[in-house]
């Protein structure tokens, strides 16, 4: 069997684009702002980059880091690496130099592709990077130690590189968001990505004619996987270089987006736009929400703003590539607060600390099994062994399961507060805080206490032009919660610290006085 035939039979990510280019060369593949590219055009540039990287000396299995915000060159880089059997290491562009240095050294990346505006961070840490052998920059006026991206591609062949690749080969090391401790590198295979994309597309009932606007960054699993989910059926993707509520609505209008994704904080600010009704969103048929449960009030406001739109709540995590569960439109309001049911290829159990299944309705840790579970944590056998105990991936989320099998997230296991011997789940308190008409956002943590072990502290963002006293909000909670669950202290702040995925960075809140 020759290599081309072998690739065509496998779940190979590079073939996903190449196949669309052969079948639909003139179909729009990506839209960024006012610019767009077809599958055929994108595939030609990807092949040029792949040939150039091969000539540079890149071999199958070697790691290449990507330091870019969403741009055409970033997606070209991903797919070119996949066609060569190399491994992409996307870097969060919000990380500090010390964090970037750790990931670059830990991942063994030998080459870095970066946008011009981000290269200054590399200049400060270049001497610390043990494995990097070269730099390629996107943009003008590059430093002398950086090779220009466009010159890198120039006069290269456009034919397929036809590297011998198996779908079990590594495709990406996606470093976890680092909400606690050092980030871990989740190693994902071609099959991991492909299966999750294929099944997600099936569950969503994505169509060839769809256009998906996902403003999440492509260095994050949600953003990257979102592109692949729609490419599986030849649909179009649109994105933003950075999230901006005005640009998001303008793109929904101009691209005639049929599906749009946003974490709850994004939908909050979109609904606050004073001229929201001026944008044409008539093509929109689905709204996806992920990263956290979308409060009921926001769901109702979105439904009023976009009549006829159906909602999906998506739940997952990096190590699962990423979708594990979804709450579909038919259950959206009957199962309020649930993250839904597992997708077709994901099995779940709810277990206690000894990995025994708990009774229906009891709280336990959710564990997963299926073909989209990561291969391992890179260079971390102990972390891999702990996460994959007894053949199931332990996600660290505390949940309960109802009689119909629907899953409700109670909290992160590591965020649970133990006060006076009582287990307190921050999500329960946050839900009460969200129900106050003056509260926009809330996050709850445990803080050390000599008498109780831990007590409850809340951080609250009030809606615009609202004011209130700490004691009034504590009293509000006291009327709705057991006394030991109420916040002992509430801090009013302008915004909650979040990572690129929109999740609240509770460790940042714990460091506040």
- The pLDDT value given to residue 252: 96
Question: How does strand 310-316 pair with strand 341-342?
Answer: unpaired
Measure the CA–CA gap between 411 and 366, rounded to whole angstroms: 11
Measure the CA–CA gap between 225 and 234, rounded to whole angstroms: 14
pLDDT beyond 90 at 166: yes
Query: Do 29 and 236 contact (CB within 8 A), yes or no?
Result: yes
Token pair for 492: 């009013």
CA-closest candidate to residue 482, choices 414, 429, 433? 429
pLDDT beyond 70 at 299: yes
- The pLDDT value given to residue 419: 85
- The pLDDT value given to residue 1: 64
Please enumerate in sequence order all residues whose Cβ is within 8 A of that of 137, keeping only pairs 6 or more positions apart, or say none: 113, 114, 115, 116, 119, 143, 146, 147, 148, 149
pTM for this entry: 0.86
- The pLDDT value given to residue 421: 67
Write the pLDDT tens digit of every residue in 201-258: 999 999 999 999 999 999 999 999 999 999 999 999 999 999 999 999 999 999 999 9
Q: What is the 3-state secondary structure (H, E, C) of 73-103?
A: HHHHHHHHHHHHCCEEEECCCCCCHHHHHHH
At which residue do the structure tokens 């990406």 appear? 172
Write the pLDDT tens digit of every residue in 33-60: 889 999 999 999 999 999 999 999 999 9
Mean pLDDT across the chain: 92
- The pLDDT value given to residue 501: 67
User: Judging by beta carbons within 10 Å of its beta carbon (0-12, 13-18, 19+), is residue 358 exposed, middle or buried?
Assistant: middle
* Domains defined for the chain, CATH in brackets: 41-154+161-165 (3.40.50.980), 191-413 (3.40.50.12780), 420-510 (3.30.300.30)
- The pLDDT value given to residue 179: 41
Q: Looking at 1-10, 163-172, 305-314, 373-382, which range is the least confident one?
A: 1-10
pLDDT beyond 60 at 178: no
Token pair for 410: 């109670």
Write the pLDDT tens digit of every residue in 465-474: 999 999 999 9
Cα–Cα distance list, 219 to 167, 494, 501 (Å): 21, 27, 10
Write the pLDDT tens digit of every residue in 79-135: 999 999 999 999 988 888 888 999 999 999 999 999 999 999 898 899 999 899 999
Measure the CA–CA gap between 321 and 226, rounded to whole angstroms: 10
pLDDT beyond 70 at 181: no
Token pair for 381: 């056998």
Query: Do 51 and 157 contact (CB within 8 A), yes or no?
Result: yes
Q: Looking at 33-37, 92-96, 319-323, 490-494, which range is the least confident one?
A: 92-96
- The pLDDT value given to residue 507: 82
- The pLDDT value given to residue 423: 75
Average pLDDT over residues 296-319: 90
């Amino acid at each position: 069997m020759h290599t081309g035939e072998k690739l065509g039979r496998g779940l190979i990510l590079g073939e996903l684009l190449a196949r669309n280019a052969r079948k639909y060369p003139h179909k729009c593949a990506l839209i960024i702002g006012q610019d767009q590219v077809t599958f055929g055009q994108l595939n030609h540039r990807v092949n040029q980059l792949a040939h150039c990287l091969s000539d540079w000396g890149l071999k199958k299995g070697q790691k290449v880091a990507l330091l870019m915000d969403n741009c055409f060159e970033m997606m070209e880089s991903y797919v070119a690496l996949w066609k060569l059997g190399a491994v992409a290491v996307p870097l969060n562009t919000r990380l500090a130099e010390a964090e970037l240095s750790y990931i670059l050294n830990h991942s063994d990346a030998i080459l870095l592709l970066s946008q011009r505006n981000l290269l200054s961070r590399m200049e400060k840490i270049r001497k610390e990077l043990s494995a990097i052998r070269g730099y390629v920059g996107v943009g003008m006026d590059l430093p002398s130690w950086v090779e220009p991206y466009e010159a890198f591609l120039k006069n290269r062949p456009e034919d397929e590189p036809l590297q011998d690749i198996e779908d079990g080969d590594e495709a990406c090391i996606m470093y976890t968001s680092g909400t606690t401790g050092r980030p871990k590198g989740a190693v994902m295979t071609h099959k991991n990505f492909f299966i999750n994309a294929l099944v997600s597309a099936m569950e969503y009932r994505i169509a060839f004619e769809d256009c998906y606007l996902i403003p999440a960054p492509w260095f994050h699993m949600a953003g990257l996987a979102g592109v692949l989910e729609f490419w599986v059926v030849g649909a179009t993707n649109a994105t933003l270089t950075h999230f901006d509520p005005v640009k998001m609505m303008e793109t929904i209008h101009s691209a005639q987006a049929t599906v749009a994704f946003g974490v709850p904080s994004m939908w909050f600010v979109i609904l606050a736009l004073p001229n929201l009704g001026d944008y044409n969103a008539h093509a929109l048929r689905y709204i996806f929400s992920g990263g956290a449960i979308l409060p009921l009030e926001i769901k109702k406001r979105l439904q009023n703003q976009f009549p006829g739109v159906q909602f999906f709540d998506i739940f997952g995590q990096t190590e699962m590539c990423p979708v594990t569960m979804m709450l579909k439109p038919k259950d959206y309001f009957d199962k309020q607060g649930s993250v839904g049911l597992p997708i077709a290829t994901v099995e779940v159990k709810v277990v206690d600390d000894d990995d025994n299944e708990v009774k229906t309705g009891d709280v336990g840790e959710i564990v997963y099994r299926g073909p989209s579970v990561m291969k391992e944590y890179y260079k971390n056998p102990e972390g891999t062994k702990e996460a994959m105990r007894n053949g199931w991936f332990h996600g660290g989320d505390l949940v309960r399961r109802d009689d119909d099998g629907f899953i409700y997230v109670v909290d992160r296991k590591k965020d649970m507060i133990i006060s006076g011997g009582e287990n307190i789940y921050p999500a329960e308190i946050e839900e009460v805080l969200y129900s106050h008409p003056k509260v926009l956002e809330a996050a709850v943590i445990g803080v050390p206490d000599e008498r109780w072990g831990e007590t409850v502290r809340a951080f609250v963002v009030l809606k615009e032009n609202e004011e209130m006293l700490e004691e009034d909000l504590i009293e509000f909670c006291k009327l709705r919660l057991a006394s030991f669950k109420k916040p002992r202290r509430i801090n009013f702040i302008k915004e909650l610290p979040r990572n690129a995925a929109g999740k609240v960075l509770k460790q940042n809140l714990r460091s506040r006085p």
